[in-house]
Amino acid sequence: MAARLLNIIGAASSAGAYSPGQEQAPAAFRRHGLAEALVSRSRTIRDHGDVASFRWRPDPSRPQAMNLEAVRHACDLVASNVATAIAAQEDVLVLGGDCTVELGTIAGANAAGARIGLVYIDFDADLNTPDTSDGALDWTGVAHLLNISGCEPSLASLGPTRPMLVPQQLLYFGVENITRPEAAAIRDNAIKVISREEVLSDIEAAAARAAEWAARFDCALIHFDVDVLSFIDFPIAENVRRCDGLKLEQAAFVLKQLTALPQWRGLTITEVNPAHAPDEPPRSHA
């Protein structure tokens, strides 16, 4: 069977982040030959370019949900493109951008009528609400997916369903940094977790568990925040914590197992800050 067409969707937005940088990630992926690499591996691609662009700035008018309108706008544009692709039985690669971009991916898949399972590969749980966060919406993405009490209605209501996901549709993989409110939400909602410790102790077993879980759904989606990587080993993440994360080859192994599933339909990559790469030339800002 021929591989499905892969749609590349750039979400060049750091609206939900803590500082600028992630809005440059889609351009960096293209500059370093992403499309050519995919074609060389026999993937047929359609690059939609960047459907959204916003460079982070302070937003004192909304100290608990900064740049809310820009986050919503980016998610709407991503959702429209994802919905069209998945409805046409095509795959999606969404290049973020900060973690709020995932809201657009899920909203779009819901609009296409897909039965979704989301493997959330991230150092952080992103399960805070604006009331328990610090103003950066990318720390609240999963809470908005699940419509946790206290979320911003304009984000929690993206797409045709609210909540966008129920807890049984979510699997955390590699998570380590969990706040007290997040831990309570994970416990109360019985959300499945494969912790960072489990992943690092036996990467093959952890990947197999994630693949078995994802195979239960018609549409398996992957959220990949690069801060799950060891920053010293591969310094491209927005967050520069010196965490003992995954090696690049370990992350590649997991992604290869998941994207090989017949049910896999989309990967969203977030929190790449090209300025942190030691060999990346400085970029000028408009």
Instruction: Report the pLDDT value the prediction gives residue 11, as an integer from 0 to 100.
Output: 98
| Alpha-carbon span 127 to 143, nearest angstrom | 5
H/E stretch holding 73: helix 68-87
Domain boundaries, the chain: 6-276
11 forms beta bridges with: 52, 96
Side-chain half-sphere exposure of 61, counting CA atoms within 13 A: 4
Cβ atoms of 138 and 271 within 8 Å: the answer is yes
| Alpha-carbon span 241 to 177, nearest angstrom | 11
pLDDT category at 284 given cuts 50, 70, 90 is: low
Instruction: Report the pLDDT value the prediction gives residue 278, as an integer from 0 to 100.
Output: 82
Q: Which of 158, 159, 3, 217 is nearest to 89 (CA)?
A: 3
Instruction: Report the pLDDT value the prediction gives residue 239, as an integer from 0 to 100.
Output: 84
User: Using one digit for the tens of pLDDT, what is the confidence trace for 17-36?
Assistant: 999 999 999 999 999 999 99
Instruction: Report the pLDDT value the prediction gives residue 2, as an integer from 0 to 100.
Output: 64
pLDDT category at 178 given cuts 50, 70, 90 is: very high
Confidence check: pLDDT of 281 > 80: no
**What is the percentage of the chain residues whose pLDDT exceeds 90?**
89
Cβ atoms of 124 and 172 within 8 Å: the answer is no
Confidence check: pLDDT of 280 > 80: no
* 3-state secondary structure at position 50: strand
Quick one: CA dihedral 278, 196, 131, 268, positive or negative? Answer: positive
Cβ atoms of 212 and 224 within 8 Å: the answer is no
User: Using one digit for the tens of pLDDT, what is the confidence trace for 64-115?
Assistant: 999 999 999 999 999 999 999 999 999 999 999 999 999 999 999 999 999 9
Q: What is the pTM of this model?
A: 0.96
Confidence check: pLDDT of 63 > 80: yes
Instruction: Report the pLDDT value the prediction gives residue 158, as an integer from 0 to 100.
Output: 96
Instruction: Report the pLDDT value the prediction gives residue 189, as an integer from 0 to 100.
Output: 96
User: Using one digit for the tens of pLDDT, what is the confidence trace for 228-275?
Assistant: 999 988 889 888 877 788 999 999 999 999 999 999 999 999 999 999
String of b and e for 179-197 (b: at least 16 CB within 10 Å)? Answer: eebbeebbeeeebebbebe
Q: What angle do CA 257, 263, 269 make, to 5 degrees?
A: 60
Confidence check: pLDDT of 286 > 60: no
Q: Within a 10 A sphere around the Cβ of 260, how many other Cβ atoms?
A: 9
Q: What is the CATH number of domain 6-276?
A: 3.40.800.10
Confidence check: pLDDT of 1 > 70: no
Confidence check: pLDDT of 282 > 70: no
Task: Share the mean pLDDT of the chain.
Answer: 94
Confidence check: pLDDT of 144 > 90: yes
